[in-house]
Structure 1
Amino acid sequence: MEWLKTLLFPTEDPSVIQSLVTIMLAIGSGVFFGRLKLGKITFGVSAVMFTGLILGHFGYRINHEIFDFIRDFGLILFVYGIGLQVGPSFFSSFKDEGLKFNILAVSTVLLGGLITFILHKVTALDIENLVGIMSGAVTNTPGLGAAKNTIEELKVQFPGKTFADPTIGYAINYPLGVFGIIAVIIFSKIVLKITPEDEMKKFRMAKINREEPLTHKKMRVTNPEFFGKSLNEVIKEIGYEIIISRLKHSGEVSVFSPTLDTHLQDRDVLMIVGKEKELNEFISKIGRDSTDSFIESDSDISKKNIFVTKPSAVHKKLSELDLYNTYDLKVTRVFRAGREILPRPSLELFYGDILRVIGTDEAIKEAEKIIGNQEKKLLEPDFLSLFGGLLIGIIVGSIPLMIPGLPIPLKLGFAAGPLIVALLISRYGGISFIHSYINNGAIHFMKDFGICLFFAAVGIHAGEGFYENFIKYNGWNWLLYGSAITFIPLITMVVVGRVFLKINFLQLTGIMSGSYTDPAALAFSTNYLDNDVPIQSYAQVYPLVTIARIFTASLLILLLT
């Protein structure tokens, strides 16, 4: 059994196989402990960092030839998955409250960077260590990755210079960052006397006032002013974006999908789609609500959802497909990344979009030939798109950006490069043969697998000599510095966000977790407040915050080393 002992027990110079076993031990045990509840707290995959520290402390190591690959590849998978997941809502959120949320979150990042700068001047501590302390205190993994990449670039540029390892400060302060955010959420809820139920009511009312979902209504035409007018004339005159999906003439049972040239007649019954407020005003001007059940009959026309999976439909506008004139089909809604979109003629279709169409069964079958509707295909991972996007992200992250006054060009790195590319790909539906659609299960797997690899590699490496480093560098002082970086920006955010900006507390907890890119705090807040609202605001600020933290960490090292 000597072979099993060699495989499972720690060694100073491990082989690749022994290193992989060590990584699996760290991830497996971390995921197990991450599922255990401490009150209402679950650490999730963040626990992999702690189990890695423990294994590293007790002598487990990773072969140095694969260490960088495991760490960097994990980080790339994680940030790319985040970009694909939140990209569609990230850009659209800036039209509403997303701009306010992101300004608050990025200001918190900058305040943390300012505190780090002040600590460097006051304590004379190496900026590499302080950036590691900052990254751990705000639980920001991509910032640490960017800092390490910058240091590697500086080592090449200045081979005779010695640089400290920011991973040590990161490992010492990471638990503080996790528990610090949770403590502020609990403390602020008590001090502000927050009732989650009341906050949820306020959130729902604000959402209704801010954005109305698409709905459908039945109406009967009774206003003589519109008799004989075409639907095109009526819609232009009323001035609302309304889709008229079905029409039935009075006294008849046949239902059809009208064209814009169809003329209204007295007592026609219409099925209309749009925003509820606009539908109500449309109905009040043209007629009244209808209870006619024949308009919903499927005897003449059918309703079906069609998935966009064929290249012949991807990146085509609805006007280019011209489904009505070609197949006598009308598109009533488009579903994309969980959002309902009104099917304007100028709307460009993305791979994975869902079109809700109405028409005859024969027409729907013909349209499926050019649109695709191969739902099974969407369940299969498209590795060409995935790794093509990752390749572009790595290339973008490696582009040197010349900034006057800096000793070396600034690079986005393996954290920001893939993240920005994923955001843009998800915003525009893809680049050439690379599309943005990946099913939710695959995205969650990619994110969690990537961050587990990164946490395991960083944790095991930091655990090597962790206790000795804590004693050597006076870890209690480092925890004190980290406390300033953790708590001052968070408390400032709560005061500004709640008192001055009047942000709903449920959303504010998501912004707090997103500003510190902390999934453990997010999981806690959703359990503690018993709702999923924090997830939405977390996703709104996460991408921009990640980029801001990457630049902050890199710039501090470049400017102060």
Structure 2
Amino acid sequence: MLGQLLTGFNPIVQALLALCLAATLGLALGNLKIKGVGLGIGGVLFAGIFLGSLGMRGNHEVMDFLKEFGLILFVYTIGVQVGPGFFSSLRKAGIALNGWAALIVVLGVLTALGVHWLADIPVPVVLGLFSGAVTNTPSLAAGQQMLGQIGVTGEDLTLPGMGYAVAYPFGIAGILISMAVVKLVFRANPEAEAEAFEQARRSKTARIDTLNVRLTNPNLDGLRLSDMPGVEQLGVVVSRVLRQGTEGHVEIPHPDTLLHTGDVVLVVGTPEKLRAARLILGEEAADADLKAMDEDVRWERMVVTNSHVLGKSVGELDLLTRYDIVISRLVRSGIELVPGPHLHLQFGDILTVIGSPPNIRHVTSVLGNSEKLLQQAQIMPIFIGIALGVLLGSIPLAIPGMPAALKLGLAGGPLLAALILSRVGHLGPLVWFMPPSANHVLREIGIVLFLAVVGLNSGEHFVEVLVHGEGLHWMMWAALITLLPLLVVGLCARLFGKQNYLTICGLLAGSMTDPPALAFANAVAPSEAPSLAYATVYPLVMCLRIIAPQVMVLILMGSL
């Protein structure tokens, strides 16, 4: 009946009306929560299925274009969002967590393949079950797109959406069950785990600090700052100098500034390096606070938004010689860094500059410091990035042992392009920084378009399959795909990896890229542990979730 109401309109109007109705009902459904847990953006899929079961349709060609364009928007904006932190998350402390998260994805793939071979479930359905069991919509998109690349058409292309919808509800519940099982098996006390995490973090965190040091080493008397041992070698910054015998007048030091015993210097660096510098230079000056002494020397935070300084190193900028300004700290993607001379500036870097108010005003025009530019998305780089991603996704990659060439497709290509471009940061005047608000809007529009079309296309046969067909059978196997990897890794990470329970909760939520699960984990105890673990594994997991179904399709091509 609903479908007949649209027959009088042209194909584009039909498609848009169907999509808008599915999106409106779905977003309203997703906002309904029971004890803080709801369907979220997945509600659009279920609304589309409901409307599709009532006969609402759109023009096939128009709907296909909107679905693919929505997919491209979604994965590209995800890449831009996670790109700056993707490579850094693979270093140091993140290696272990990302290893456990990658194991969850691999176990999920192996479980899904086992389900196909043991239960003889069609490949398109298995792809949908795999994506729904881990509540990962980009995975569903990548699987469907890969099926289309190898020639699957017609009703077979609606099967992944039905499998996803069947598996999705338990995918949300399964991760909460996994957290509860890990807690029960190891009798974890969330409050004690939160305290243990904070203590461990305080002992390891290399925060940037300051220290007032009085020069007492006679070997340093009369040396230039650039010749002072321990300063450049340790990577600390001397931001201010108080001469012995002066009444509170603080200077901005230059490389050729001569220092003498009795002078007090303000040193900036990590606590460990500050202690080492103090041993070389002299003793802590407990009676002097150079940051508060001289009103003629101020500090201010500025954001790099001027395209002319992007890519330049702190040494090339040379603010000290040109403007008598010292850069004491640099914050990038929430991480504090000591601004060494070889550190290159990126759009959005936050610098702490020290100097006189007139000089600081001059430096403002050099760095940009424009809040407007931070909130303004550059449109040209978005389309350039998408075009490069589409081209990248169209390149066939021959992999030994695979029955056909692998293509990154419309899911993997734009994602990889966005990861690389956002990591590069800029190319001439083109900046691949996207304000969070703009990124969020484009990402949500993209995924709503994709889910609405998938739901409308799958709705015709969904109720029949669920009630009279194999739906309940599929749901049982989907529960296995959800629980087995989570429980195995959750228990092993605690037993063998000695991971904090709250960190494991964040790891499990991040491995499912599931914000409601993260919200549940954050409510377990007042700690940042779940959020930090989630953010650490999210970039890698999102990429693996998009690649995994494509690899599964290639492995199972003979079964199609």
Per the normalisation by structure 2, the TM-score is 0.91
Cα shift at 1:417: 1.9
Partner of 2:366: 370
Cα shift at 1:92: 1.7
**Letter of the 2:332 counterpart:** R
Partner of 1:519: 515
Q: 1:186 to 1:456 in 2, by over 3 A?
A: farther
Contact 1:332 1:357 in 2 (8 A): yes
TM alignment of 1:129-208, pairs within 5 A: 129-155=125-151, 165-208=159-202
* Separation in 1, partners of 2:466, 2:203: 53
* Separation in 2, partners of 1:218, 1:342: 17
**Aligned equivalent of 1:436, options 404, 427, 432:** 432
**Letter of the 2:228 counterpart:** V
Cα shift at 1:313: 0.3
Cα shift at 1:347: 0.6
* Separation in 2, partners of 1:519, 1:262: 53
Residue 266 (structure 2) pairs with residue 271 (structure 1): yes
What SS does the corresponding residue of 2:377 show, helix, strand or coil? Answer: coil
Partner of 1:478: 474
**Letter of the 2:267 counterpart:** I
**Letter of the 1:283 counterpart:** R
RMSD: 2.8
* Separation in 2, partners of 1:133, 1:441: 32
Residue 242 (structure 2) pairs with residue 251 (structure 1): no
Contact 1:393 1:418 in 2 (8 A): yes
* Separation in 1, partners of 2:103, 2:386: 29
Cα shift at 1:406: 3.8
Contact 2:231 2:237 in 1 (8 A): no
Q: 1:201 to 1:89 in 2, by over 3 A?
A: farther
* Separation in 1, partners of 2:444, 2:41: 7
* Separation in 2, partners of 1:180, 1:369: 53
Per the normalisation by structure 1, the TM-score is 0.91
TM alignment of 1:360-439, pairs within 5 A: 360-439=356-435
Cα shift at 1:345: 0.4
**Aligned equivalent of 2:230, options 229, 236, 245:** 236
**Aligned equivalent of 2:556, options 545, 555, 560:** 560
Cα shift at 1:384: 1.4
What SS does the corresponding residue of 2:369 show, helix, strand or coil? Answer: coil
- 1:79-131: per-residue Cα shift (whole Å, max 9, x none)? 22222222222222222221111221112211122122222222232222212
**Aligned equivalent of 1:211, options 199, 205, 211:** 205
Q: 1:554 to 1:244 in 2, by over 3 A?
A: same
- 1:1-59: per-residue Cα shift (whole Å, max 9, x none)? xxxx9899677998433432332333333333333331132443233233333333333
Cα shift at 1:421: 2.1
Cα shift at 1:234: 2.8
* Separation in 2, partners of 1:524, 1:295: 42
Q: 1:44 to 1:82 in 2, by over 3 A?
A: same
What SS does the corresponding residue of 2:328 show, helix, strand or coil? Answer: strand
Cα shift at 1:426: 2.6
Residue 18 (structure 2) pairs with residue 22 (structure 1): yes
Query: Mean alpha-carbon deviation: is it higher for 207-216 or for 484-493?
Result: 207-216
Residue 358 (structure 2) pairs with residue 351 (structure 1): no
Q: 1:524 to 1:461 in 2, by over 3 A?
A: farther
Residue 500 (structure 2) pairs with residue 509 (structure 1): no
* Separation in 1, partners of 2:128, 2:36: 29
Residue 140 (structure 2) pairs with residue 116 (structure 1): no
Q: 1:93 to 1:209 in 2, by over 3 A?
A: farther
* Separation in 2, partners of 1:187, 1:264: 62
What SS does the corresponding residue of 2:148 show, helix, strand or coil? Answer: helix
* Separation in 2, partners of 1:221, 1:283: 9
Residue 533 (structure 2) pairs with residue 537 (structure 1): yes
Cα shift at 1:218: 2.2
Contact 1:30 1:48 in 2 (8 A): yes
Q: 1:531 to 1:294 in 2, by over 3 A?
A: closer
TM alignment of 1:30-179, pairs within 5 A: 30-155=26-151, 165-179=159-173
Percent sequence identity over aligned pairs: 36
- 1:467-489: per-residue Cα shift (whole Å, max 9, x none)? 11224541111112112211111
* Separation in 1, partners of 2:44, 2:154: 35
What SS does the corresponding residue of 2:13 show, helix, strand or coil? Answer: helix
* Separation in 1, partners of 2:79, 2:205: 24
Partner of 2:214: 220
What SS does the corresponding residue of 1:399 show, helix, strand or coil? Answer: coil
* Separation in 2, partners of 1:460, 1:178: 22
**Letter of the 1:270 counterpart:** V
Contact 1:42 1:520 in 2 (8 A): yes
Equivalenced residue count is 555
